[in-house]
Amino acid sequence: MKVSVIIPVYNAADYLKESLDGILNQSLSDIEVICVDDGSKDNSLEILNEIAASDSRVKVYHQENRGGGAARNVALTHASGEYIYFMDADDKLKDGALEECYEIAEAKNLHFIIFQAINYAEDTGEYFESRDYSMYELSEFVGDSVFSYKDLGDMVFKMSVTPWCKFYNHEFVKASKAQFAEGLIFHDNIFFYDSLFYAKRIYFLNKFLYIRRRHSASSTGAGDERYINYITISDMIWQIFFKHGVFDEYKEMLCTKKFGSMNYWFKNIQEEYKGQYFAEMKKDLERIASDDEFFHYIADDLVDWPKVIFESCLECETAEEYELMIKNYELEIDNRHLKELINWPVRDLVFSKIKR
């Protein structure tokens, strides 16, 4: 078996047939497709069983709802392929993608491949790129070379963490012991960083092989209370960096990522959950501030934007107060930039006179 395709499934009845057809009709046919139904409330499980009855390569498992991370972990225990490919049940993989990735991984003896993904807006039928999944900066930086995280510097944070734009060597995955966080959205962060720091041979394939469907049911687009998961995930990310002995190397960027992302998800969570999110965010930052030794360790890296977020959260008592303070700071920055732009012609005129 060359590739095990792993697909967690939750209420994906509208998309399953199209997604699975794209996998089962790949030019590489020596595959198995491991689908784990995560307690779907629609007829997803029925559809999976119908497809499995007509194609022996499809294997179906069912569990009570425990989240996509748990479903992927369960599927890994059943996988037998030389390589692992993770896919979401509502998306599509381009024709020939598995065969191309397999041949490159074999030829270059890779631990995993990263490739590009394009978004598909279900409402409008339009395709569009996004910086996170195009990864042009990474492409330009690594070129056609085989690399590891040691070659990347801060480019580590310019890589998409999503599992569906990666193609993993199975033995490598088992040796790394990387697992997805369970019961949480954003669970792919943990698997990605744990495997990244274990990998010695990574390759970037500069091709759009994956089509990511954008719709309101997406777990990271719904804006519901699950966004609060990010606070737990951000701590788990830090622990992964400590585990691999690289926290000090990336300390400044980790502070920027944690506090910046905390604020980002606060801004994007639905209004009814902002109070709950802020309370958990404040509790987490108070815990960090109360550890004198650790706070002293990261204090110099709390500059500019992450420092404003950190201090504002500690100072404020309510989500409304925090939101207002952040908006005021953003307005100050905008005004500062505007003044700089207004002053540009004046400075240019002064410089031109001096030169004459």
Residue 184 tokens read as: 């949480």
Rounded to the nearest angstrom, the gap between the alpha carbon of residue 314 and the centroid of all alpha carbons in its chain is 27
User: What pLDDT score was predicted for residue 355?
Assistant: 47
Residue 199: helix, strand or coil by DSSP?
coil
Q: Do residues 208 and 94 touch, judged by C-beta distance below 8 A?
A: yes
Q: How far apart are CA 212 and CA 165, in angstroms?
A: 10
**Phi, psi torsion values for 302, nearest 5 degrees:** -90, 85
Q: Do residues 23 and 56 touch, judged by C-beta distance below 8 A?
A: no
- Nearest CA to 148 among 83, 196, 206? 196
The long-range contacts involving 323-328, CB below 8 angstroms and separated by at least 24 positions, are 323/266, 323/267, 323/274, 326/263
Q: Do residues 257 and 298 touch, judged by C-beta distance below 8 A?
A: no
Q: How far apart are CA 235 and CA 190, in angstroms?
A: 10
Residue 64 tokens read as: 């009570």
The number of residues making up the chain comes to 356
- Nearest CA to 14 among 116, 160, 138, 122? 122
User: What pLDDT score was predicted for residue 193?
Assistant: 98
Q: Do residues 325 and 315 touch, judged by C-beta distance below 8 A?
A: yes
User: What pLDDT score was predicted for residue 218?
Assistant: 56
Residue 90 tokens read as: 């509502």
Q: What is the block-wise mean pLDDT of the chain (356 residues), using blocks of 10 residues?
A: 97 97 98 98 98 98 96 98 97 98 98 98 93 96 98 95 98 98 95 98 98 72 87 98 97 96 96 97 98 95 92 97 95 77 57 47
Handedness of CA 255, 258, 262, 263 (dihedral sign): positive
Q: Indicate where the chain has its CATH 3.90.550.10 domain(s).
A: 3-214
Residue 271 tokens read as: 């209004």
pTM, full prediction:
0.90
Q: Which one of 1.20.1740.10, 3.90.550.10, 3.40.50.300, 3.40.830.10 gives the CATH number of domain 3-214?
A: 3.90.550.10
- Nearest CA to 282 among 325, 345, 231? 231
Q: How far apart are CA 183 and CA 66, in angstroms?
A: 5
Residue 190 tokens read as: 């943990």
Q: How far apart are CA 63 and CA 19, in angstroms?
A: 21
User: What pLDDT score was predicted for residue 216?
Assistant: 57
Q: In this structure, how many other beta carbons lie within 10 angstroms of the beta carbon of residue 271?
A: 8
